[in-house]
Amino acid sequence: MSVGTELRTSFALMVFLQSAVPALPCTLCGGNIYSRPTLRQEGERSRIVLAGKLGEAREDVNLPGGGTTVFHIDHIVKGADLLAQQSKVVLPRFLPSDDKGRNTTWLLFGEIRNGRFDYQSARPISDKTTIDYLRSTLATSQKPRSEFLQSLPKYLENPVPEIAADAFQELTAATDAEIGRLSRETSPSLLRRLLSSNKTPVERIGLIAFLLAGCGEAKDAETLRELLERDWERVRESYSGLLAGYIVLQPVSGWKRAEEVVRSKKHPFLQRYAVLGTVRFLHEAQQQIDRKNFLIVFDASLDDDDIADMVIEDLRRWQWWDLERRIIAKMPQKDSDGPMLRRAIVRFALSCPNKDSQRFIAQQRRTDPEFVSQMEASLRDEGK
């Protein structure tokens, strides 16, 4: 089995809150921050949003964690009509805090139950401008989706970490097609500043690069090329977006680079796989790109056993049958050889209306009818 195939296959307060809010790490923590809702999403699903600080705490010694804590309200972000101008609410938990904890501003998201405030989640914030950001995104999200997305890029250079991180998370939830349209509506000077700043987290570079390609100039291609030529380990998290942007700005050089990467095993698996990410993104983003360029990269990828099955599956989903004969010819001779590739080829042929595929499936029904039936069932289960 190849390496590529293997690769695929205050303490009491924080303990109390961590089920609703991961500890506030910076955006470089990766996965955890994207597994939780954005501030706007939290606000939209809550009837009340409060900003303030923890105060007096009283413990119920007969109940672990039991007691109450006063929360002093500095701002009612949402739901002022439900709280009747209250200046504080009582939380049904014992949350002792030191001086640092008492000076921390928190956002509480909740509602009124049985006449009392009941909070569902909470987040610490490092700057009060986060409150203004939340108010703004809640208001802008009521406008057309395109206007909401256009309001976000400017926050990517906000000096408050949680604001920039939250805006980026909102952008990652956009569809590829939405990002494609947004790229034509964003300030190129903003994106150039972000690309040149050492403070921009590396996982944001790919998206920023593609946005710049949609609104920038030919000179920006040189910036993207220089970034692409950095050591792989420095650009691995942003490679797909960088390459997509470079292809948009310099199609000939960009597609040539993509083809060269997938043709050579000297490039690590993750880099070759990143090229597939680029191709998928450009397709889904509905970029006006000659189909033959996609097919050249896909044709080269079929010789790579680590990614060939994924390429075939993409072609099947897109109903691109151009490489039909090439794909059928790759059918493994033995059941034990390349099971993932075998699965992808049979699924492709079952979906393809052309005669070569029909003849291939007829042959497979004679040699392994059970496997063909399994693949037919898998396609039915997917509704495709």
Strands (E), the chain: 48-59, 67-78, 88-91, 105-113, 116-125
pLDDT of 380 > 90? The answer is: yes
> Angle, to 10 degrees, between the axis of helix 251-263 and the axis of helix 291-301?
10
Beta carbons of 106 and 54 less than 8 angstroms apart: yes
Beta carbons of 48 and 110 less than 8 angstroms apart: yes
What is the secondary structure of 313-325 as a DSSP string? HHHHHHT--TTHH
Residues 6+ apart with CB under 8 A from 95: 12, 13, 16, 54, 57, 69
Beta carbons of 80 and 52 less than 8 angstroms apart: no
- Residue 208: Cβ-neighbour burial (10 angstroms; 0-12, 13-18, 19+): buried
- Mean of per-residue pLDDT scores for the chain: 87
- Predicted local confidence at residue 75, as pLDDT: 94
Task: State the amino acid at position 82 in one-letter form.
Answer: L
Residues 6+ apart with CB under 8 A from 1: none
pLDDT of 25 > 50? The answer is: no
d(CA 169, CA 38): 7
The better pLDDT of the pair 92, 295 is held by: 295
pLDDT (mean) for 274-279: 94
pLDDT (mean) for 256-268: 94
- Predicted local confidence at residue 120, as pLDDT: 86
pLDDT (mean) for 133-158: 97
- Predicted local confidence at residue 6, as pLDDT: 35
d(CA 128, CA 163): 11
Q: How much is the pTM?
A: 0.79
pLDDT of 36 > 90? The answer is: no
pLDDT of 28 > 70? The answer is: no
Specify the residue for token string 């000939």.
Answer: 252
- Predicted local confidence at residue 21, as pLDDT: 33
Pick from 356, 354, 349: nearest CA to 371 = 349
Residue 272: pLDDT band (50, 70, 90) is very high
d(CA 280, CA 260): 17
- Predicted local confidence at residue 12, as pLDDT: 28
The better pLDDT of the pair 256, 24 is held by: 256
CB-based burial, 54-72: b 16+ in 10 Å, e otherwise: beebeeeeeeeeebbbbbe
pLDDT (mean) for 60-64: 76
pLDDT of 24 > 60? The answer is: no
Residues 6+ apart with CB under 8 A from 70: 54, 55, 56, 57, 88, 89, 90, 91
- What share of the chain has pLDDT > 90, as a percent? 67
pLDDT (mean) for 68-79: 92
Query: Could you give the domains of the chain?
Result: 11-131 (2.40.50), 174-301 (no CATH), 311-384 (no CATH)
pLDDT of 278 > 60? The answer is: yes
Beta carbons of 303 and 259 less than 8 angstroms apart: no
Task: State the amino acid at position 170 in one-letter form.
Answer: E
Pick from 31, 159, 131, 156: nearest CA to 74 = 131
- What share of the chain has pLDDT > 70, as a percent? 89
Q: Cβ atoms within 10 A of the Cβ of 90, count?
A: 14
- Predicted local confidence at residue 246, as pLDDT: 96
- Predicted local confidence at residue 321, as pLDDT: 98
The pLDDT tens digits for 183-211 are 999 999 999 999 999 899 999 999 999 99
pLDDT of 376 > 80? The answer is: yes
pLDDT of 30 > 90? The answer is: no
The pLDDT tens digits for 206-251 are 999 999 999 999 899 999 999 999 888 888 889 999 999 999 999 9
Q: How far is CA 269 from CA 196, 207, 272, 273, 311, in A?
A: 28, 21, 5, 6, 14
Residue 29: pLDDT band (50, 70, 90) is very low
d(CA 300, CA 8): 20
Structure token digits, residue 225? 């090329």
Structure token digits, residue 381? 């289960």
- Predicted local confidence at residue 3, as pLDDT: 36
pLDDT (mean) for 138-162: 97
